[in-house]
Structure 1
Amino acid sequence: MPRAIVVIPTYNEIGSIESVLDRIRATDDTIDVLVVDDNSPDGTGHLIDRLAEADQRIHVLHRTEKNGLGRAYAAGFSWALDNDYDYIIEMDADGSHQPEELPRLLALLDAGCDVAIGTRWIPGGVIRNWPAYRKAISRTGTFYSRIMLGSKLHDLTSGYRGFRASALRAMDFSSVNSSGYGFQVELAWKFERSGAKMGEFPITFVEREEGVSKMSTGIVVEALVNVTVWGISSRLGRGPERLHLPASADAA
């Protein structure tokens, strides 16, 4: 049976993280969880330490600084690969991603997908409690990214996704340029253009009830600038090198 782990970055998520962990374990008690905490001032890391002492399936990776979502995920993915997990899943700590939908994500990986993405913008996808401007930012960002990058994916910015470790090992995280939410776009695009087998499934996205959103103007601008540069470079034949995926993925 494949070993699966959910990687969850945290920064000041003490109000929501325990509930998210409880729901993951209630959905599938075989899945491990790695919380990557960026030295949260509110004590999130200390709370996870206590929870990990009582549950061997919970792990904690403490980082000394907050330098972006992408860097936190890269650290978590590297830890999971070093510890020989087969499926590596990413999920937000604020409750916006529903742990109860993990079985559908795992089913796509079981079926041979290299990357499985939880998608808001396909039939069956639902967004709750988002103001109109947030929906507009997300839809516009995905539309622009799809056009610039020539992507067929419907939700490039989604943070609910899973990877086969065999495919994720092909990624050189030192070459990833994005530190914010653009990390999601960059990873999905690099896998897609390299011929990875991609799968999408509809999700219900619920706006956080606890804590403060990490979205900022700087994060949006970074993503838009990067997507523009990648798209132009790719059209000029100067895009990033394709990943050397396992033979089974190349043949898919």
Structure 2
Amino acid sequence: MSIDGLGRAVMVIPTYNEAENLAWIVGRLRTAVPEVDVLIVDDGSPDGTGVLADELAAADPAVAVLHRSEKAGLGAAYLHGFRHALDAGYDVIGEMDADGSHQPEQLHRLITALAEADLVIGSRYVPGGSVVNWPLNRRLLSRGGNLYVRLLLGIDVRDATAGYRLFRRSTLEKIDLSTVISAGYVFQTDLVTRTLRAGLTVREVPIEFIERERGDSKMSGAVATESLRLVTRWGLAERRAAWRRRRGAETLPPIGTGVR
């Protein structure tokens, strides 16, 4: 099926040990936006999530499953799902968590905004956005991380680490997924930065983010460290490139001097 004016759409949902949540979130998504397909990408969950995903796909032709042999990171799972969705001819490719933190009932906000954008982010930190059931230290860490991203990378996005998104097919094709190497949560920052660097339009719409009630969070100190390290590397590389561009411009002769 297709969504008005945008074509065929699919939401990619990566999973690892989400047996408690998967049927619940897929059911909500299929009810809230029945014209959008679902692609589950399971990283070899030992808790039976993959088996449950196969059962959901057998019962609903709009649900498909990709099985991966190991837990290789959020970014790797999304890249696998995105490539599959592109090969399958989808025009709109989205991403969301399996734990219920991204409410399917709010997906229409992203769909509406995509009419005038190349990437839409469901944002916690624009006016109207909110976070439910996070302790103060988690809120401060998330806001501080996004401020660091904005300042270091020079991008005007309030929630660059958010994982509730819709991409146009043309966006994913233009930013060249074959060169993406970020595997963890920093994948989100990587893709929005690539989108902006490509001269494309990013819009943020407010969502209510709800912390998971069942299962364990996949966020860890190692994941946060990877994100900080890569964002710092990218930011410093961008500053070095900008410095070289300025130096090059200063050494060029003025236009019209006749110097060759």
Fold similarity call, TM over 0.5:
yes
TM-score, normalization by structure 1? 0.92
Is contact 1:178-1:222 (8 Å) kept? no
Q: How does 1:60-209 map to 2 (within 5 A)?
A: 60-109=65-114, 111-209=115-213
Q: Secondary structure at the residue paired with 1:40?
A: coil
Structure 1 residue 37 corresponds to structure 2 residue 48: no
> Do 2:174 and 2:198's aligned partners in 1 also have CA atoms closer than 8 Å?
no
Give me the whole-angstrom Cα distance separating, in 2, the residues matched to 1:189 and 1:98: 25
Aligned mates of 2:178, 2:172 — CA distance in 1: 13
Q: What are the superposed Cα offsets for residues 190-221 of structure 1, whole Å, 9 maximum, x if unpaired?
A: 11122111111000000001110000111111
List per-residue Cα deviations over 1:50-78 (Å, max 9, x = no partner).
11111000000000011100000000000
| Secondary structure, aligned partner of 1:100 | helix
Question: 1:89-111 deviations in whole A, cap 9, x for unaligned?
Answer: 000000000000111111111x2
Matched residue type, 1:84: G
- Which residue of structure 2 aligns with residue 246 of structure 1? none
Residue deviations 1:100-135, cap 9 Å, x none?
0111111111x2311000110111011100111111
Matches of 2:143 and 2:229, distance apart in 1: 17
> Under a length normalisation based on structure 2, what TM-score does the superposition of the two structures give?
0.89
Cα deviation for residue 171 of structure 1 reads 2.8
1:238 offset after TM fit, Å?
7.5
1:210 paired residue number: 214
Paired with 2:239 and 2:96, the residues of 1 have a C-alpha distance of 32
State the SS of the aligned residue for 1:64: coil
Specify whether residues 42 and 23 from structure 1 end up closer, same or farther in structure 2 by C-alpha distance, changes over 3 A only: same
| Residue 16, structure 1, aligned to residue 8, structure 2 | no
Equivalent residue of 2:174, what SS?
Answer: coil
In 1, are the aligned partners of 2:175 and 2:198 still within 8 Å (CA)?
Answer: no
Aligned to 1:222: 226
Unaligned runs of 5+ in 2: 244-260
AA at the equivalent of 2:104: P
Letter in 2 for 1:85: Y
* Secondary structure of residue in 2 paired with 1:117: strand
Unpaired runs of 5+ in structure 1? 240-252
**DSSP-derived class of the 1:3 partner:** strand
> 1:75 aligns to what SS in structure 2?
helix
Kindly, what percent of the aligned residue pairs are identical? 51
Q: Counterparts of 1:238 and 1:20 in 2: how far apart (Å)? A: 44
SS of the residue corresponding to residue 241 of structure 2 reads: coil
